[in-house]
Structures are given as structure tokens and as C-alpha cells.
Amino acid sequence: MTDSPESLLAERIAAIPTVSVAKVPTPLDEAPRAAAALGIERLWIKRDDLTGLAFGGNKARKLRYELAPAVAERADVLIAGGGVSQSNHARQCAAAAAQLGMRCVLVLRNGPRGGARQGNVLLDDLLGADLRLLETESPDETLAEMDRLADELRSAGRRPFVVELEGLSVVAYVECALEIWRQLRALDTTATHVFVASDGGTQAGLLVGSDILETGWVVVAVRPHPTDGDPRDIAFEQARLGSKLLDLPVEIPREAILNLQDFIAPGYGVVSDAGRDAIHMLARTEGVLLDPVYTAKAFAALTAWANAGRLGHDSRVVFVHTGGLPALFAYADELVE
């Protein structure tokens, strides 16, 4: 008997070590009132805002894989970096460290909302993370500081582990694609489109999973950050890495990657009018909250596609909710009408 693509994929994913820091599988909730408002046949929300680690998000799912080597190496300090603005990654690392009995040092660089003790930054503090604020906006300088701190801690006899989300974590969203596929099948249906807020990492996993399972989904990623380069680069490279890690014969052609830059304005970490409307719409039709920095802009893209007729009335769309909700509280003034 030959393995089906589904069992092959499940087998390969299961062979990769994890730590149980995330609550998965997450629910796939139907959103009929929002679907009607958008004029599409069906809409589901993949609730990765419910993954745990202090208010959920895609990073918890990724840390399940990314922290397995940290536990295997018996690390005692996690070092993570991000934007002081509202880093969901940093906050979920702080929660994971606490849950795993490790210390956490967060190197947070300056950016929009630097210094405001609200949202994610407030949670970092409550979770006991050691916050180091860097007066730079450069990711490279942030990384250099993380490496310097790791050396310092090593010299002091500690076992630090620097968390980067560009390795094993791509497998996390291959697994998410498999979950969605199975959840839709249990409902005796399929999807035409998957929308997600992503610079490329989360998208890459969804693309690889979708390709192996031959889902036929159009995966539409909506970038939160602008780039001077080709917006498809991260998804392309990460998809390659994911296929390699899982030893799967997948080649996602660069031309097939949809990574939209059109919904970032007025800028990364700045609320857009369409994003604010999306937050209100989904909250009021379905009681589901979006965050202003990532998911609201992705949902604004979904809305724009529906309004422009790019999603037909027969479209069946999965919106992957990647979390980010603590930031709502840091943006209160811009969000109320």
C-alpha cells in the first residue's frame, strides 16, 4: 500500500521534535455573518490567536518546534529580539521561557510606540523577562547584541539559547495547513483561498502543506512590513527550507507566490483606515478581535479583494488569525470611533 500525501506529510511532521508550549490543533470557526457582509460563500477563521503563551499567536506554534533544541541542550536562558513597538514574538518567548523554567532576556529595538508600557511590553514585564532596550531600528544590530549577550552569559556559566524563527519553525505552518485540510474535510468542504498576515515565514509553511496535499488553495499573504527587495523572497527561501527539513519533493515557484505589499500604508505598526474598519466589522459581526498591526491589515486585504470582485460569490475563504491581540490595548486612541 502506498502512503497518501496526507499520511506521508503527517509522518514527516511527527518525526520532528516539539515542546508542548502551544495549544494545537486550534479551532476552525465558521464566520457566516462576516461572509455575508463580504458577499462570499463561506468564511472560516483558523484560530491561531488561541495557541496560548500569554494571549496566543503564530509564534507559539513556531516555538513548539524552534525551542525543542533549547530543551534538548538544557538551555537555561532564552534570548529573543524584536521591536519594542509591540513584539508578539518577544512576548511569546517570555511566556515560553517562564513555562519551561528558563530565564528570558529580550533585546527590543526602538520603533513605533517605543517606551509605552502597554500591550506586549507590559506582558513582557509581567512575565519576568529582562528587557534590554536598544536605540536602533536595525535588525542586524539587534541580532549582534543578542549574540554578545549570549557570549556574556556563557562566560558566566549559563546555557543561553538564541531564538530565531527562520529554521525549524517553518514546519509549524506546514502542520497548520494539514490541520486546516483535515478540519475542512470533516466539514465535507474545501476552500478556494487562504488569507494570512505574513512577511513570508508563515506563508511558506502554508504553501508547502498546500502543495503536498494538492489543496488548490490560493494562499494570499499580506505583508505587515515593507521591503525594498522582492516581497516573495522570504516565502520562497523558507518554503525551500521547509521542504528540505521534511524531505519532501516540493518546489514552490517564485512566480506562484502572492505576497502583497499594498495594505501596509501608512506604515508598519501604524493603524490604517481599512484596518480599523476590519477590526470593527469582524468584532461586530462575529465577536472576533483582530490586532491593528498584522491581522487587521490582512483582513482589510480580504475585504478589498471581495469588494473588487476578485473573490467571487462562490469563494470559500480561510482567514488564518495569527494573533497579536495584546497590541489592541497599546493602540486604544486610534481604534475607537
Q: Which are the catalytic amino acids?
A: 87
How many residues belong to the site for ligand PLP (CB under 6 A)? 16
Question: SS3 for 295?
Answer: helix
No. of H helices and E strands in the chain?
14, 10
Site for ligand PLP in 256-315 (CB under 6 A): 291, 294
CA distance 260 to 274: 15
88 scored as a contact of ligand PLP (CB under 6 A):
yes
- The helix (run of H) or strand (run of E) holding residue 161 is strand 160-162
CA distance 306 to 187: 23
Q: Kindly state the smallest distance separating residue 15's Cβ from ligand PLP, in Å.
A: 22
- 153 vs 318, beta carbon nearer ligand PLP: 318
Q: Kindly state the smallest distance separating residue 199's Cβ from ligand PLP, in Å.
A: 4
CB 265 within 8 A of CB 300: no
- 229 vs 309, beta carbon nearer ligand PLP: 229
- 58 vs 243, beta carbon nearer ligand PLP: 58
202 scored as a contact of ligand PLP (CB under 6 A):
yes
Q: Which of 42, 61, 64, 89 binds ligand PLP (CB under 6 A)?
A: 89
- 173 vs 181, beta carbon nearer ligand PLP: 173
Q: Kindly state the smallest distance separating residue 238's Cβ from ligand PLP, in Å.
A: 8
Cα distances from 161 to residues 83, 149, 166, in angstroms, run: 19, 10, 15
120 scored as a contact of ligand PLP (CB under 6 A):
no
CB 54 within 8 A of CB 92: yes
Q: Which of 26, 58, 192, 215 binds ligand PLP (CB under 6 A)?
A: 58
Q: Which of 81, 160, 242, 324 binds ligand PLP (CB under 6 A)?
A: 324
Q: Kindly state the smallest distance separating residue 192's Cβ from ligand PLP, in Å.
A: 21
Q: How many other CB atoms are found less than 10 A from the CB of residue 271?
A: 19
Q: Which of 57, 81, 231, 326 binds ligand PLP (CB under 6 A)?
A: 57
Q: Given the C-alpha cell 469582524, which residue does it identify?
A: 282
Spell out the residues 6+ positions from residue 75 whose beta carbon is closer than 8 angstroms to its own: 102, 159, 160, 161
199 scored as a contact of ligand PLP (CB under 6 A):
yes
- 153 vs 176, beta carbon nearer ligand PLP: 176
92 scored as a contact of ligand PLP (CB under 6 A):
no
Question: SS3 for 164?
Answer: coil
Residue type at 53 in one-letter notation: L
CA distance 288 to 282: 6
326 scored as a contact of ligand PLP (CB under 6 A):
no
Question: SS3 for 176?
Answer: helix
| Residue ranges in contact with ligand PLP by CB under 6 A | 57-58, 88-89, 197-203, 291, 294, 322-324
